Amino acid sequence: MTMRVLVTTSYLKPGGEVDRLLSDAGFDTVFTTPAQRQTSGTPLADLVRDADGIVAGTDAFTADVIESAPRLKVFGRCGVGYDNIDLAAANRCGIAVTFTPGANRRSVAEHVLALMLNCARLIPQNIASVRAGRWEQRSGRELDGAVLGLIGLGSIGKTVARLALALGMRVVAHDPYPDNDFLAETGVQAHTFDEVLAEADFLSLHIFLDDSTRHLIDASALRKVKPGAFLINTARGEVVDEAALADALENGALAGAALDVLAEEPMPLDSRLRRLDNVVVTAHIGAATEQARSRSSLMAAQQVIDALQG
Ligand code: NAD
């Protein structure tokens, strides 16, 4: 019997390069998006029933869904972070879970740069003001000479560091497992968590979400941040205590924040952060480039093929 791969990554389409890769390897493919499932009323649990492999995006694969898939052998997750897949359930059912480290680091790092420049030059505020018929010229700041503080110096943190160094920024970083060769090669300085908070003009987060990093940036951490600093979060929303962040933005402890990720996505209509004009929010688009999507989806599909062909 031909094995079947279900593709749930919303930007992948039948007939595209991932479909061709899987079909050429001898698999049947089925594509599904949340919008199609809503229209057809077909739950994800029904679609996984005869899948041997899944190329997954950000859909929630709960224990219930995973337990509805008796043939399933492997998830190939496009992207990094498995917070949408119940790993305990996958483990229990003997299903391998892979992801695509490195495939989107450049895109996320470039997005961090874009967010920093937007903060530094007050670009979103200026665009809104011009749209409203005004012609204001509030002073921003150059990135050259500013201190970038990185929490997490892994794949994405290091790529951000290299881009920031090219712009003349000084880069300090906290990571419990620093890559000493990288530090020696680039001159990025390893600091304690508190030192990074105290020194950074731009504080950028590049850590995974787990029990040890949930609300790492809380009221106590925000009190240690350099006055006038900006917080950039492209990691995961729950790394930041958003209520404490809103307080810090309202009372001027932070000059601003740029967030690509939120504790609840899409952003709730009544979020306090929505009302603050020193907050820039993008809709989790750090890895949303043609290049990153192509690299990570082909890598995920190949991991599924390798696992199924054993
Ligand atoms: P990575 O594993 O390469 O790097 C994470 C680093 O964090 C590691 O070096 C680790 O030692 C360090 N670390 C762990 N705990 C720490 C702590 N308490 N303090 C400081 N450092 C700590 O991961 P990555 O590929 O660089 O991804 C980083 C984050 O980016 C993840 O949260 C991921 O979910 C997020 N991400 C977001 C997007 C997006 O679209 N916005 C896309 C890809 C990844």
Q: Which helix (H) or strand (E) holds 80?
A: none
Whether 236 is catalytic is yes
Whether 214 is catalytic is no
Alpha-carbon distance of 115 to 233, in angstroms, equals: 9
Both tokens assigned to 53: 């492999």
> What residues have CB less than 8 Å from 165, skipping those under 6 apart?
171, 186, 187, 188
β-pairing, 4-7 vs 28-31, is parallel
CB atoms within 10 A of CB 259: 23
State residue 82's pLDDT score. Answer: 75
Distance in Å, CA 206 to ligand 1 centroid: 4
Q: Residue 276 burial (CB < 10 Å; 0-12/13-18/19+)?
A: middle
Residue 229 pairs in a beta bridge with 254
**Is the model's pTM score more than 0.90?**
yes
Per-10-residue mean pLDDT of the chain, 310 residues long, equals 95 97 98 93 96 95 97 95 89 96 96 98 97 97 98 98 98 98 98 98 96 97 97 98 98 97 96 96 97 97 96
**Scanning the structure block, which residue is given the tokens 């997954």?**
56
Whether 199 is catalytic is no
| Ligand 1 atom closest to Cα of residue 260 | 41
Asked if 22 and 5 count as a contact pair (C-beta separation under 8 A), the reply is yes
Alpha-carbon distance of 166 to 187, in angstroms, equals: 12
ipTM above 0.90, yes or no: yes
Distance in Å, CA 27 to ligand 1 centroid: 33
